[in-house]
Amino acid sequence: MRSELYTAAQGLIARQLELDAASNNLANINTTGFRKTTPFFRTLNLALEDGPRNPLNGATNNQPVAGGIFIHSEQGAIRQTGNNLDLAIQGEGFFKLNTPFGPRFSRNGQFTIRPNGAEANRATLVTQAGYEVLGRNGNPITLNPNARDLVIDRSGRVYQEQNEVGRIALVTFQDKAALVPEENNLLANLDPQAVEVNVEQPQGEMNQRSLEMSNVNVAQEMMRLIEMQRAYEMNTRSIKTIDAQNDRAIQSLGPR
């Protein structure tokens, strides 16, 4: 088998991953707090680490393989909403959420209040999907739904009728490589050893009555999509050319 066929085939797989990422980015240009993603790659020989080394191995296995997903941290545009429960993060950090699958992280600050059953004067701050917003103490933010004044300052401290009732957690990680995107615009941390860090001003702060929009640049993503489509087509043509050359070689070895 000709090694260039492996190269072209792996190139198709790599370009398909990039096309999928670009398409997903464009589909989320209006998603609150969405973070643009792009895949990154390693060569298979590096991925094998201490695997076998020989000329054939090097020829066929030194191909691109998916190494992970890179989450871009550029700031999205801030839109004023006038809603007291809307929060936009300016700078570093993520909201920490309590989900049935464990802690998750997000830049989407479009929150609401969920009543606590029979307790008429107690409610919990949650996302639109119903996930609890966690505070610095690791507990959900508990509110009085009947209080008229709700103020959230830039450090995340929550006040009702001038009394502090909690502080919303704003966290990040020393190494963000373990963060992976999930559905509902959530991020999961796959590394149990990752160090979670509380973000302080001025590195990151919250803006009440505002939401951060997607950080996807439509023009850039469209250009990237076109480039990936052309690269995909080039790899396809390469495979067809190699296949045709193999056919001619086989025919030339046939009966005279």
Q: Can you state the angle between helices 218-252 and 3-27, rounded to 10 degrees?
A: 160
CA separation, residue 16 to residues 3, 20, 60 (Å):
20, 6, 20
pLDDT-based confidence at 47, cuts 50/70/90? very low
Mean pLDDT (whole number) for 34-46: 79
What pLDDT was estimated at residue 141?
Answer: 96
User: In the numeric block, which tokens belong to residue 34?
Assistant: 């969405």
Is the domain of 122 the same as that of 207?
A: yes
Is the domain of 31 the same as that of 49?
A: yes
Is the domain of 93 the same as that of 68?
A: no
Mean pLDDT (whole number) for 88-99: 97
According to the per-residue pLDDT averaged within each range, which of 15-19, 41-45, 180-184, 207-211 is highest? 207-211
pLDDT-based confidence at 206, cuts 50/70/90? very high
What pLDDT was estimated at residue 8?
Answer: 76
**Among 43-57, 175-189, 199-213, the least confident range:** 43-57
What pLDDT was estimated at residue 61?
Answer: 58
What pLDDT was estimated at residue 57?
Answer: 53
Is the domain of 131 the same as that of 202?
A: yes
Q: Which residues contact 212 (CB under 8 A, 6 or more apart)?
A: 32, 33, 75, 76, 77, 78, 79, 88, 89, 90, 107, 108, 109
What pLDDT was estimated at residue 52?
Answer: 55
Is the domain of 103 the same as that of 133?
A: yes
Give pLDDT tens digits for 154-204: 999 999 999 999 999 999 998 888 899 998 899 999 888 888 999 999 999
Give pLDDT tens digits for 74-91: 999 999 999 999 999 999
CA-to-CA distance for 243 and 90, rounded, in angstroms? 53
Is the domain of 135 the same as that of 240?
A: no
Give pLDDT tens digits for 19-31: 999 999 999 999 9
Is the domain of 83 the same as that of 193?
A: yes
Q: What is the mean pLDDT of the chain?
A: 87
Is the domain of 58 the same as that of 157?
A: no
What pLDDT was estimated at residue 7?
Answer: 73
What's the number of domains the chain is made of? 2
Give pLDDT tens digits for 226-242: 988 888 888 788 878 87
CA-to-CA distance for 222 and 202, rounded, in angstroms? 34
What pLDDT was estimated at residue 236?
Answer: 83
pLDDT at 48 over 60: no
Is the domain of 83 the same as that of 206?
A: yes
Task: Write out the residue range of the structural domain in which residue 156 sits.
Answer: 78-212
Query: Measured over all CA atoms, what is the biggest interatomic distance in the chain, rounded to whole angstroms?
Result: 97
What pLDDT was estimated at residue 60?
Answer: 54
Is the domain of 189 the same as that of 110?
A: yes
User: In the numeric block, which tokens belong to residue 62?
Assistant: 């030194």
Q: Higher-confidence residue: 23 or 46? A: 23
pTM value? Answer: 0.82
Encoded amino acid at 245, one letter: Q
The tally of CA atoms less than 13 A away on the side-chain side of residue 256 is 0
**Cis amide leading into 202 (omega within 30):** yes
Is the domain of 85 the same as that of 175?
A: yes
Is the domain of 118 the same as that of 12?
A: no
